[in-house]
Structure 1
Amino acid sequence: MTYVNAGTLGAVPGKRDELVSLLTQRNERLRDLGCTLYEVGIDDDEPNVVFVVELWESAGAHQDSLSQPDVMAAIAEARPLLNGQFGGFRFTVAGSPLRD
């Protein structure tokens, strides 16, 4: 069952675009780990916030990805750009009117 992780990442003032650039670097490894969608967005009314929506094959695939050395390295690279404010939600998809 598809697992969704949607949230906000607080960026250090003036570092939002750098964080977006880092998060949007091409990374086919995520697909190998079970990520089927990873979208990054911004809202000009919130200049220090980055929005991220991830779809994973399962909650386990998402959790397992966090222990991978390359994923851990990417998180470590992003950490100095984050201000420590996070928000969001997670859920397992129950269905959709757009597919069977």
Structure 2
Amino acid sequence: MSKFAMFGKLTAVPGKRRELADMMLASDDTLSEMEGCIYYIIHEAEEEPDVLWITELWESREAHAASLQNEQVRELIGRCRHLIANAGGIKVKPLGGKGY
């Protein structure tokens, strides 16, 4: 099975990016216990004050899909929803490199 990766983009409600990031990062247990997740890193965009980028690498597409059915993950999404103005991103296919 090939690995699966995404670059997720969350646009926070204006002025709420830090609160959104803090809420997501405070759920470190949820993030660290996602089965099949190799890395899940939250970044602040330097030139977009309300944007967070998330880099994700998963053992497989199925592992990513399963994470979205996890009750703790669904609860975290629900807690954060009021801080998110828009969500999107792109799916990419990892080819190799350091950390692959």
The question of a shared fold, defined as TM-score above 0.5 by the shorter chain, is answered with yes
The TM-score with structure 2 as length reference comes to: 0.85
Instruction: Tell me what 2:50 maps to.
Output: 48
Question: Which secondary structure state, in structure 2, belongs to the residue aligned with residue 18 of structure 1?
Answer: helix
Unaligned runs of 5+ in 1: none
Instruction: Tell me what 1:62 maps to.
Output: 64
Deviating beyond 3 angstroms after TM superposition, the runs of 4 or more aligned structure 1 residues are 97-100
- Aligned counterparts of 1:99 and 1:13: Cα–Cα separation in 2: 34
Residue of structure 1 aligned with 2:74, choices 62, 72, 75: 72
Deviations 1:56-99 (A, max 9, x none): 1100000011111111001101101101x233211232x22447
Change (3 A) 1:92 1:44: closer
The alignment of Structure 1 onto Structure 2 pairs a total of residues equal to 96
Question: Which secondary structure state, in structure 2, belongs to the residue aligned with residue 63 of structure 1?
Answer: helix
Kindly report the root-mean-square deviation, in angstroms, between the aligned alpha carbons of the 2 structures: 1.8
Unaligned runs of 5+ in 2: none
Deviations 1:32-66 (A, max 9, x none): x1111011111232111111011111000000111
Pairing 1:29–2:30 present: no
The TM-score with structure 1 as length reference comes to: 0.85
Instruction: Tell me what 1:90 maps to.
Output: 91
- Aligned counterparts of 1:91 and 1:45: Cα–Cα separation in 2: 23
Change (3 A) 1:99 1:67: closer
